[in-house]
A and B are shown apart, each in its own frame.
Chain A
Amino acid sequence: MAKKKFVVGCFDDEANLFPAVKKVRTAGYKIHDVYTPFAVHGLDHEMGLRETSLHTAGFIYGITGTATALSFISWVLTSDWPLNIGGKPHFALPAWIPIIFELTVLFAAVGMVLTFCYLCQLSPFIKKHHFHARATDDLFVMVIETTEKTNVDDLKAFLANAGAVETDVQIAEEGWWLGRYDKDQVPFQNKIVAA
């Protein structure tokens, strides 16, 4: 995977973050991501992220669960091993609905959790670069991608002007790699002290 150069701006308040995101986007910079200590309502909209398709995936998983349960139960109870249970018809749909429902929920839930982890690149033994450790505590960390044409100093000044309390430049791996967080914990190994 390729390493890239990022400019990082840290904000200490949600109220400063929103106008800053807007300014940065209007100025034409490309926001890599914004890391926040908690879910910030409306930030995805402000960053111009597209609507997640996780719910569509969930719907498909759910339908798969429904189809699996319905086809399996009906095959077993009508053709493979029909049983007379309390004089009910072999195709006893009302009695199956709870099981069909449970399987729908199970498929949808497990499928969506796994899809969510995949989309967020979360997994055991997978490591990603942390731009700022305090993003998990009390700082809102905005990371901007740079190109060869980006004037890093201008961008840093721009961020500070927009309300960033801390800015720096990092050359970092943008994807994931195999590794563990409890070993070899050097989150700032790529940090370049600003000139």
Chain B
Amino acid sequence: MSSIKEQFEIPAKLKTWSFALIGAGLLALIIGFITKGRGTEEEQAVFIGTIMYNTIFWTLVTNASMFFICITTLAMGGWQQSFRRIPEAISTMVPIFGSITVAVLLFVVFSGNHHIYHWLDTNAVAGDEILKGKSGFLNVKFFTIWTLLAVGLWSLLGWRMRQISNEADQAAFNGETGASFIWRNTVRAAMFIVWFALTVGSTIPWLWLMSLDAHWYSTMYSWYTFASSFVSGMSLIALWVIYMKNKGYLEYTNEEHLHDLGKFMFAFSIFWTYLWFSQYMLIWYSNQPEETLYFKHRVQGVYKGIFFLNLIINFICPILILMKRSTKRNYTLVTFMAVLIIFGHWIDFYQMVMGSISKDHVTLGWLDFGILSLFVGLMILFVAKALAKKPLVSKYHPFLKESIIHHT
């Protein structure tokens, strides 16, 4: 146990790359602001919408790491112990990306840009039976309070999970202290999961994303968003695990662990497709105008290409490539698939948000990729910093041995 490398040192190359990505992103942001952010209300809506889906996507994806930690804790899982510090480090991004999300959303809500959220237009709501009925939920006050609460509690409860994990670095447990440690972990994880269910599992996608089409609703929507963010979150964990393995860290983690991460990526890609299809098929079959309006311009309009590309990347590729056992144990292929899945679900978020804001034009272009590079750069830099702060393996954790001898 003494021979492993416990302390991560940030390679200079990683810093250079992340600064380059952040620089490119900031440049795109500034040029975007000058060319689009000061134009008509529609142009502003496109500019802000582009930032919005990126920041929401990355907040939910990094938050999925904490969900992964909590769900494995509640399930008394041991296999993830050898690399648990990776999702912990990724989840430190929730306060950072969460603050950006809160700032962007509150800006939208308080500036009253009803090209983004139609329900902000008080005159329209007053003469609209459907929106009037929803106004108890879709109003500025509730939106603000719930958004602040959501991000705040994700950050706080996640922080509490990371704090308790430090205890496993300091001293060995005996039977009694070990049991109490596991119990306190369980309680804290359960608290996070409950709040996660009340937010990501239900209300937050309704508020942040589904209310872009204020008249439309789908009961699948929150699970769909959750599945999207969770499968990307698992891919992100897999990418970081592979990166750290490449740099010679995480000696206890091997292809057995990678295999299980690959299974998560595979299974939740299928789960996402199940929700995608259920949502689409029911609306297609019943053919009610107020429901099909969401799919009209996505399936038959300008978003057709992106809509089906989404299905190919996020369903056809994972099912065909990740199905084999040997693929899930192959570092190169898992890296490829993880990048593809994250990109695919980023595209999914793109069409969810921009498909509603800009119905007649596909806006995907340099601004989208610029903002994406800003968030990726921030994520790489801060996750690496968080990884360098703590030992990479919590060496006294009672379940660590289970992870070392893990076998699938």
List chain A positions with a Cβ less than 8 A from chain B.
Answer: 41-42, 51, 55, 59, 86-88, 94-95, 97-98
Contact = CB atoms under 8 A, between A and B. Distances in A.
Contacts of A97: 277, 281
A55 B284 CA distance: 34
Contacts of A59: 323
B322 to A, nearest CB: 13
A95 B280 CA distance: 10
Given A59-B323, A94-B281, A95-B285, 4 more contacts: A55-B325, A86-B287, A87-B287, A97-B277
10 contacts: A41-B407, A59-B323, A86-B287, A87-B287, A88-B285, A94-B277, A94-B280, A94-B285, A95-B281, A95-B285
A94 B287 contact: no
Contacts of B281: 94-95, 97-98
Contacts of A94: 277, 280-281, 284-285
A42 B277 contact: no
A86 B284 CA distance: 11
A50 to B, nearest CB: 13
Interface residues of B, number: 9
Contacts of A55: 325
The interface residues of chain B, by DSSP majority, are classed as helix
A47 to B, nearest CB: 15
A94 B323 CA distance: 23
Nearest to A86: B287
A56 to B, nearest CB: 9
Contacts of B284: 94
A86 B285 CA distance: 8
B407 A42 contact: yes
A41 to B, nearest CB: 4
A94 B407 CA distance: 39
Contacts of B325: 51, 55
Contacts of A42: 407
A95 B282 CA distance: 9
A191 to B, nearest CB: 35
B130 to A, nearest CB: 25
A87 B407 CA distance: 53
A98 B282 CA distance: 12
Nearest to B281: A94
A98 B280 CA distance: 13
A84 B19 CA distance: 60
Nearest to B282: A94
B254 to A, nearest CB: 13
Interface in B277-333: 277, 280-281, 284-285, 287, 323, 325
Interface string B17-37: 000000000000000000000
Q: Which 6 A-B pairs have CB atoms at the shortest separation, nearest pair first?
A: A41-B407, A94-B281, A42-B407, A94-B284, A95-B285, A97-B277
Contacts of A87: 287
B37 to A, nearest CB: 40
Interface string B237-254: 000000000000000000
A90 to B, nearest CB: 15
Interface in B133-192: none
A174 to B, nearest CB: 30
Nearest to A95: B285
A51 B329 CA distance: 14
B64 to A, nearest CB: 27
A143 B85 CA distance: 44
Interface string B392-408: 00000000000000010
A47 B254 CA distance: 21
A88 B292 CA distance: 14
Contacts of B287: 86-87
Nearest to A56: B324
Contacts of B285: 86, 88, 94-95
B258 to A, nearest CB: 17
Nearest to A87: B287
Contacts of B407: 41-42
A59 B281 CA distance: 26
Nearest to A94: B281
A41 B280 CA distance: 42
B300 to A, nearest CB: 14
A88 B287 CA distance: 10
Nearest to A98: B281
B351 to A, nearest CB: 18
Contacts of A86: 285, 287
A88 B284 CA distance: 9
B320 to A, nearest CB: 10
A55 B325 CA distance: 9
A59 B277 CA distance: 22
B104 to A, nearest CB: 35
A174 B285 CA distance: 58
Interface in B94-148: none
Contacts of A41: 407
Nearest to B325: A55
Nearest to B274: A101
A70 to B, nearest CB: 15
B134 to A, nearest CB: 29
B308 to A, nearest CB: 13
A42 B407 CA distance: 7
Contacts of A98: 281
Contacts of A51: 325
Nearest to B326: A51
